A and B are shown apart, each in its own frame.
Chain A
Amino acid sequence: MEILNALALLSNYVFVPAIAYGSQLALGALGVTLVFGILRFSNFAHGDTMAFGTMVTILFTWWFQSMGISLGPLPTALLALPFGIFFCALFVLLSDRLVYRFYRSKRADPVIYLIASVGIMFVTNGVVRFIIGPDDQNFSDGERFIIRAREFKELTGLAEGVSIKVSQGITVVTMLIVVAALFWFLNRTRSGKSMRAYSDNEDLALLSGINPDRVVAITWILAAALATIAGTLYGLDKSFKPFTYFQLLLPIFASAIVGGLGNPLGAIAGGFVIAFSEIMVTFAYKRVVAYLVPGDWTPDGLVQLLSTDYKFAVSFIILLLVLLVRPHGIFKGTGV
C-alpha cells in the first residue's frame, strides 16, 4: 500500500512531467540533429526558431479565439499549429537563402556556420521580442486535466493522487505521431532516402543526381516544423517567454549530443535521458522516503540531490560525462 503511494507520488511529480518534458526535448533535439546530420553544423538559432514558430502559433490562436473558433476540450493552438509551421518554415528558408547558401557555395568551415547561426539567433530573438514582447504569454485553453488528482484518489483509494494534464497528454501523442511520420518519411520515401544519402556522403549523393537545393530546403522545412511543434507543446505545458526558449538550447543540445549528434533515434533517446535526469536529480524525495521507510527513520531534510535552480547544470554535467566517456553518444552519431 505504501509502495503504491510512493509510486503514485513519483509518477505525479517525476514520471509524468519527465515524459512530457522528454518528448518536448526530443522534438527539439530532432530538429537540431537533422540540421547537423544533413547541413553539418550546430544550429544555435534553433531555440529562437522554436520561439518564432510558437509566436506565430500564438498570434493565430489569439485570432481564432477572438473569432470564437475552438477545438472543444483540446487547445485551439493545435488548429493554429499548421499556420505557425508555415510561417516558421518561410522564415527559416529565407534565412537560409540570405545567409547560409553563400557559405555552402564557398564550402566554408563549420565554425563559420556556427557564428552565422549566432547572428541569426540575435535577429530572430529581436524579431520575436519586437512582435510579441519579452513577457510571459499564456495561450492555452480548453480542458486542463485528463485526470485530476482528486479523481485518481477516488478511483484507486490511494492517499496520493496522480494528475495528468491535457497538455502533457497531447505532448506525448503528438510526439509519437511526429516521430512515426518522420521515420516513415526518412526511411520509406525517395526524398527521405536522398536526404539520408546526402547526410552520409555529400559528394556521392550529388554524383547520383540528388538535387542538393531540394534536400536543403526539405531539411529546413522539417527543422522548422519540429521546432514549432516542440515550442508550441512546451508553451502549452508551461508558458511562452522568449528568454526561456533561449535557455532551452542547452538541454536540447545536450540531448542531441548524448544521443549521438546526427542520429534521429539518438535525439529521442537523449531527450528522455536528459529530461529524466534533470527531474530526478532535482526532485525532493522526502515524502517518497517517508512512505517507504518506518516512521522514525524519516529524514529531516528534503532529500534533494541538487536544488531546482541547478536543473540546467544537470544536463550540462551529463553532457560533460558523455563527452568524457563516449563522445559519439549513445547511438553512434555522425560527427566527433
Chain B
Amino acid sequence: MSAYRNVGYFMIMAALIIIVGQFQSWNLALSILNLCLISAVMALGVNMQWGYAGLFNVGVMGFAAMGGLAAMLVSVSPVKEAWSAGGVGIFFGVMALILTVVTAIFTFRKMQAKRFRTAFVVFVCIVGYFIIRSIFDPATTAIEKVNPASTGYLGGLGLPILLAWPIGGIFAGAAAWVVGKITLGLRTDYLAIATLGISEIIVAMLKNEDWMTRGVKNVVGLPRPVPYEINLQGTPWFIDLATRLGMDPVTFSSIFVKLCYASLFTVVLLIVLYLSEKALRSPWGRMMRAIRDNEVSASAMGKNVKSRHLQVFVMGSVIVGIAGAMLTTLDGQLTPSSYQPLRFTFLIWVMVIVGGSGNNWGAVLGGFVIWFFWIEAEPLGVWLMDVLTSPMAAESALKAHLIDSAQHMRLMTMGVILLVTLRFSPRGLLPEKTGRS
C-alpha cells in the first residue's frame, strides 16, 4: 500500500514537471529538473545527518561551497605566471600552517592540564599565525597582481571536472570533521550554531581570498563534462536528429545539453541513493538509529556515540559537497556571492522535513517538491498579487509595493510549509519505515 503511495507521489512530481514543459517551456522544465536532482542529493546528505543521527546541521551552504571550490580548483587550468610569482610562498605558508597546528596539538597533549597549558597553546598559535602571515601575504599580493582583470589567482589543476565531484566531497568532509570534532558531544544547539559559523567563514574566505578564488570577481567558464550548444549546432548528426524530431537546432541543442546534465546527475543520485539505502538497512544503520532513538541506552551498551555522530556528520557533509560540486559544474562558474544561507541551508531543511526525515526516498521527493514550488512560487506569487490587486487603481503606490514584494511571499510560504509540516505531519510525506507497521 505504501509502495503505491510512494510511486504515486513521484508520478505526481513527474506530471508537474511535464505540465511546466508543456505550458511554459521545455528548457525551463529541464533546468528545474536539473536543480531538483541536485537538491535531492543535498537533501540526501542532510537526511543522513538528521534522520540517521538527529544532528541539526545549519551549515549546508558552507559544505556546498567547499564542493564548488573543489570543482573550480580541479578543472580550471593553472595560471603559470601566478604559480611562479607566489607558488613557493603559498607552499611554505601551508607548511607553516600545518606545522603550527601540529605543534599546538603536540603541546596540548604533552603538557598535562597545568594552569598554563591553554596560555601556552594560545601563544604557539599566535606566533605561528604571525609567521604564516609573513610568508603568505607577499605571496598572495604577488599572485593577485598577475593580470587581475582576467586571472589574478592561482588557477587550478586542469583536470576533468567530473573528477572534482568526489574531491568536492572530500573537501566538505574535511571541514565537517574539524567542526564535528569540536562541537559534537555537546548540545545539538551548539552544533547548529557552530555549523552556521563555519559556513559563514567558508563563504567569507571564498569571497575574500582572491589569490585562490578571484573572490567576488568570480571564476567563469569552467570546463564542461557535456558538449557546448554552439558546437552541437554545427555537427551534422545533431542537425539531422533535430530536423527528424521537428525542432529547431538551437532550442534542441540547449534541451540536449540539459538532458545530458540530467542523466549525469541522475546517475550520481541513484548511486548515492543506493548506497544510503544499503547503509540504512545494514547493521550499521540499525545501530545509528538506535543511538538516535535512545542515546543513553546505546552508550550503556558500549557504543561510542560521539565518534558515530562524527562519522555520520562527515558522511552527510561529503554528499552535500558532491552536490555542491555538481551545482557549480551546472552553473559553469564559481560565484561566491550566490551562496545565500536562506537559499541553501534552510530550503534544504524544508525539503528534508517535508519529504520525510529518516527516509531517503522521502528526502529525494522533498527535494523535488520543494524546489519545484520554490521556483514556481515566484511567477505564481506575482500572478496572485496581480489578481488580488486588480481592483486597485493602476498607479497606486500600494499596488506597486505589493507586486514588488510578491517575491518575499516565497520566504513566508516556505516558513509556513515548514511549520505546518512539523506540526501536523512531522514524519513528512514519506515517513520513515521503522519495521513495525
Q: Which residues of A contact B (CB under 8 A)?
A: 36, 41-42, 44, 98-99, 102, 110-112, 114-116, 118-127, 129-131, 133-134, 246-247, 249-250, 253-254, 257, 261, 301, 305, 307, 309-310, 312-313, 315-316, 319-320, 323-325, 327, 335-336
Assess the A324–B182 pair: CB atoms within 8 A.
yes
Asked if B422 is at the interface (CB within 8 A of a chain A CB), the reply is yes
Min CB–CB distance A291 → chain B (angstroms): 21
Assess the B193–A119 pair: CB atoms within 8 A.
no
What are 17 inter-chain pairs, A to B, with CB distance below 8 A?
A: A42-B189, A99-B419, A102-B423, A114-B188, A114-B192, A118-B58, A122-B414, A123-B411, A123-B415, A124-B415, A129-B411, A130-B405, A130-B409, A246-B341, A254-B193, A309-B207, A310-B208
Min CB–CB distance A161 → chain B (angstroms): 31
CB neighbours of A134 from chain B (8 A): 408
Assess the B201–A313 pair: CB atoms within 8 A.
yes
Assess the A120–B56 pair: CB atoms within 8 A.
no
Closest 3 CB pairs of A and B: A122-B415, A126-B412, A126-B411
User: Which single member of A102, A310, A320 contacts B204 (CB below 8 Å)?
Assistant: A310
Assess the A323–B187 pair: CB atoms within 8 A.
no
* Interface band, chain B: 35 or more
Assess the A41–B189 pair: CB atoms within 8 A.
yes
Bound CA span A250–B193, Å:
7
Bound CA span A46–B404, Å:
26
CB neighbours of B188 from chain A (8 A): 110-111, 114
Question: Told that A123-B416, A316-B197 touch, could you supply 17 new A-B pairs with CB distance under 8 A?
Answer: A41-B189, A110-B188, A110-B189, A114-B189, A114-B192, A122-B411, A122-B415, A130-B405, A131-B405, A246-B341, A250-B197, A257-B193, A261-B189, A301-B137, A310-B201, A323-B186, A324-B182
* CB-CB under 8 A for A123 and B412, given A99-B423, A102-B423: yes
Min CB–CB distance B26 → chain A (angstroms): 31
Bound CA span A319–B189, Å:
13
Assess the B412–A309 pair: CB atoms within 8 A.
no
CB neighbours of A119 from chain B (8 A): 415-416, 418-419, 422
Q: Mask for B381-412, Cβ within 8 A of A = 1, else 0?
A: 00000000000000000000100110011111
Min CB–CB distance A121 → chain B (angstroms): 7
Assess the B187–A120 pair: CB atoms within 8 A.
no
Asked if B378 is at the interface (CB within 8 A of a chain A CB), the reply is no
Bound CA span A313–B58, Å:
16
Which residues between 148 and 206 of chain B lie within 8 Å of chain A, taking CB atoms?
A: 182-183, 186-190, 192-194, 196-198, 200-201, 204
Assess the A115–B349 pair: CB atoms within 8 A.
yes
Min CB–CB distance A108 → chain B (angstroms): 9
Asked if B353 is at the interface (CB within 8 A of a chain A CB), the reply is yes
Min CB–CB distance A130 → chain B (angstroms): 4
Min CB–CB distance A26 → chain B (angstroms): 18
CB neighbours of B408 from chain A (8 A): 126, 129-130, 134
Asked if B25 is at the interface (CB within 8 A of a chain A CB), the reply is no
Min CB–CB distance A229 → chain B (angstroms): 23
Bound CA span A310–B346, Å:
23
Assess the A323–B192 pair: CB atoms within 8 A.
no
Please, which residue of chain A has its CB at the minimum distance from the CB of B193?
A253
Bound CA span A9–B218, Å:
37
Min CB–CB distance A94 → chain B (angstroms): 13
Min CB–CB distance A31 → chain B (angstroms): 15
CB neighbours of B198 from chain A (8 A): 316
Please, which residue of chain B has its CB at the minimum distance from the CB of A116?
B422
Assess the B201–A335 pair: CB atoms within 8 A.
no
Which residues between 107 and 144 of chain B lie within 8 Å of chain A, taking CB atoms?
A: 118, 129, 137
Bound CA span A122–B198, Å:
21
Bound CA span A39–B410, Å:
29
Assess the B201–A312 pair: CB atoms within 8 A.
yes
CB neighbours of B201 from chain A (8 A): 310, 312-313, 316
